[in-house]
Amino acid sequence: MNKRRFLQASAALAAALSFGTAVQAQTPIRLQLDWRFEGPSALFLHTAAQGYFREAGLNVTIDSGNGSGATVTRVASGTYDMGFADMAALMEFHANNPDAPNKPVAVMMVYNNTPAAVLALKRSGIRTPADLSGKRLGAPVFDADRKAFPIFERANNVSGVTWTSMDPPLRETLLVRGDIDAITGFSFTSLLNLEARGVKTEDIVIMPYADFGVKLYGNAIIVSPRLIQENPAAITAFLTAFARGAKEVMANPTAGIESVRARDGIINVPLETRRLQMAIDAVVASPDARREGFGRVDMARLNLMASQVSDAFGTQTRVNAANVWNGSMLPPAAQLDILPLARR
């Protein structure tokens, strides 16, 4: 081999070794969302698409989900390292599986308020929570919003409600048909589903739990205790990158939704952009989030939620709030200052 070829071969070998080292430096993270790829998933998908996870030394795989309960279970099983799930579902898992060896822990609050709401049509005569007494409500039997309804019920002196169970796609259909008087569901999901079934926005009554005395937290980023033990730095790197991407999405939801379309090319872009903006306004950049700070929780409020979930969900053991939350890996406050200016 002549000198020139030797140098070329040496350079190629060095490049290959360098590439291999770079790949090895990328910590793999498997993340499952709570639901399919819709507007709010832009908070994660945009961060990945912009390369912010990769710049943080992470190789993040993001999969859609089919409910918070399933996401919690899959993180607990080790199938996923991290997840995006409802705090009430996480609490329920902890309390019903006290001996589970790998109970996930929430490390960043994203939905400071639960998106849960009661929705009705004005033609039913329902206008306020008091009007729900004696009415027929509907939701899937496993629905977290339905499970949490006793908290809403007690806060608003509602009584005599009867329930109809159905598969999730039929929830809004049965309401439109008049088979039930009201439903529970995510405000920004059920509202748009009702509109898609021909109901005008002005004909829909929405009673968000958060506006009627129920200050439950919503979805949080959850992680496996194994990952906390083995690589807490990777969790901080993930949360820092996520905050960076989420800030951009909240500043420009229209641009953020492009990352969702890249993962699901058949989404309705205007509808999902609207869903994303509604989620930002209602639960991500809510007044409570501005007061407590993005990503954080108020432990007094979390303790109250733990007690309420224990009662409403009828858990096997009482929920211990200290066991479901670990804020020690959050990035510094300056990097969590990401909420947009309040809309007037």
When the pLDDT of each residue in the chain is averaged and rounded to a whole number, the result is: 92
Please tell me whether the overall predicted TM-score, pTM, comes out greater than 0.75 for this model. yes
Predicted local confidence at residue 171, as pLDDT: 97
The mean pLDDT of 121-127, rounded to a whole number, is: 97
The answer to whether 80 touches 227, Cβ cutoff 8 Å, is no
Please give the full DSSP string across 135-166, using - where no structure is assigned: -EEE--TT-HHHHTHHHHHHHTT----EEE--
Token digits of residue 339: 């909420």
Is 317 a residue whose pLDDT tops 90?
Answer: yes
Question: Which residues, 6 or more positions from 2, have their beta carbon under 8 angstroms from its beta carbon?
Answer: none
Q: What is the dihedral of CA 261, 266, 271, 273, to 10 degrees?
A: 0
Residue 129, SS3 per DSSP: helix
Predicted local confidence at residue 25, as pLDDT: 66
The mean pLDDT of 117-128, rounded to a whole number, is: 97
pLDDT tens per residue across span 163-176: 999 999 999 999 99
Is 155 a residue whose pLDDT tops 70?
Answer: yes
pLDDT tens per residue across span 63-94: 999 999 999 999 999 999 999 999 999 999 99
Predicted local confidence at residue 7, as pLDDT: 41
pLDDT tens per residue across span 218-267: 999 999 999 999 999 999 999 999 999 999 999 999 999 999 999 999 99
Q: Which residues pair with 62 in a beta bridge?
A: 31
Q: How far apart are CA 184 and CA 209, in angstroms?
A: 10
pLDDT tens per residue across span 275-310: 999 999 999 999 999 999 999 999 999 999 999 999
* Sign (positive or negative) of CA dihedral 65, 69, 72, 78: negative
- CATH numbers and ranges of domains, the chain: 25-112+217-336 (3.40.190.10), 116-211 (3.40.190.10)
Residue 167, SS3 per DSSP: coil
Q: How far apart are CA 152 and CA 131, in angstroms?
A: 13
Q: How far apart are CA 89 and CA 218, in angstroms?
A: 10
Residue type, 227: L
Predicted local confidence at residue 95, as pLDDT: 98
Is 136 a residue whose pLDDT tops 80?
Answer: yes
pLDDT tens per residue across span 12-54: 334 333 333 333 469 999 999 999 999 999 999 999 999 999 9
Any idea how long the chain is? Answer: 344
pLDDT tens per residue across span 201-213: 999 999 999 999 9
The answer to whether 175 touches 119, Cβ cutoff 8 Å, is yes
